[in-house]
Amino acid sequence: MISFSRLQLSQKAQYEDILFACPPRSCEYSFANLYLWGRQEAAFFPGCVGFFSHFYGKSVYPYPIGTGNRRAVLDAILDDAKSRGIPCRFTSLTQAETQELESWFPGRFLFRPDRDGFDYVYSIDDLADLKGRKFQKKRNHVHKFRNEHPDCQSVPLEKENLPQAREMVDKWFRQRLAEDPHGDYLLEQIALSRAFRHFESLGLEGLMLVENGQVLAVTMASRLSKSTMDVHFEKAQEDVDGAYAAVNCEFARHLRMMHPELEFLNREDDMGLPGLRQAKLSYQPHHMEEKYCAYLAEGLHEQDDVENTLGSLLRG
């Protein structure tokens, strides 16, 4: 079997050398996401990285990345799944990778788009400027916030002000749990705690909106590719109208000023939640980072089995 293990901070440079040599990937491949959420384990191959995840009772292999011999990595993963006695299921494939997998293993895999997992990727200029008719409502919302909060300042996150940002985030979780005592926020709380603790080591960047010493909103992101930043967390005081729209706009402006080489902001997926999907679409994404799942067809005989198995995989 392949010796998969959780990525360590000491492996960040090695991992990102491989990641950044690839075309832009979906948010699952961000080193920060892999480290903060801890849902996936990795194994290094010459010029490639393979992945394994066992979560909520499902075992999957996020598609390997790298410019090395990926066919050899896939062969090793197929053997690994057989050794473990589990189905070989790949996630987070691009459309080109579904064609690649089919060309290497003709007829052996079934493919499905994972629409709920598509990433929303925005032009940084669009989010920073909100120009044109299509952004009129968003622009008005931000202007209203600025008029109502003339003393609000955009403050980049740094080591010295992280405790202030964390206090606001902790308050956000307390309010949510008070409203919904059975809400499932534990994993996100753990991930955010790690983000604050390892902010500099992970290469995270962020911004907070501060008015008279009070933090109204916080956002945090990391580099996903040479052209793209990935937003991991965004929290705002729910009773401050326009805070989410304002921090989104201000962070895009901050990134454009600090990193003029960047083009895009990946704001991740909508998890199939109708309200979140509507909100993300309303910001007019530049493009969607599409993701596909692949399931080894061997052993599946009835169409119902195929539908049920793949449906379960996509929901998981």
Confidence bin at 300 (pLDDT 50/70/90): low
Is 2 within 8 Å of 77 (Cβ atoms)?
Answer: yes
Q: Does 207 have pLDDT greater than 50?
A: yes
DSSP string computed for 80-113: HHHHHT---EEEEE-HHHHHHHHHHSTTSEEEEE
Confidence bin at 183 (pLDDT 50/70/90): confident
Mean pLDDT in residue range 56-61:
90
Is 231 within 8 Å of 205 (Cβ atoms)?
Answer: no
Q: What is the pTM of this model?
A: 0.92
Q: Is 308 helix (H, G, I), strand (E, B) or coil?
A: helix
Q: Is 267 helix (H, G, I), strand (E, B) or coil?
A: coil
Query: Can you state the angle between helices 70-84 and 95-104, rounded to 10 degrees?
Result: 80
- Domains of the chain, earliest start first: 9-118+290-315 (3.40.630.30), 119-288 (3.40.630.30)
Please list, in sequence order, all residues whose beta carbon lies within 8 angstroms of the beta carbon of residue 178, skipping any fewer than 6 positions away. Answer: none
Plot region of 66 (φ>0 → left; ψ -120 to 50 → alpha; else → beta): left
DSSP string computed for 183-247: ---HHHHHHHHHHHHTTTTTT-EEEEEEETTEEEEEEEEEE-SSSEEEEEEEEE-TTSTTHHHHH
Mean pLDDT in residue range 8-16:
98
Mean pLDDT in residue range 173-192:
90
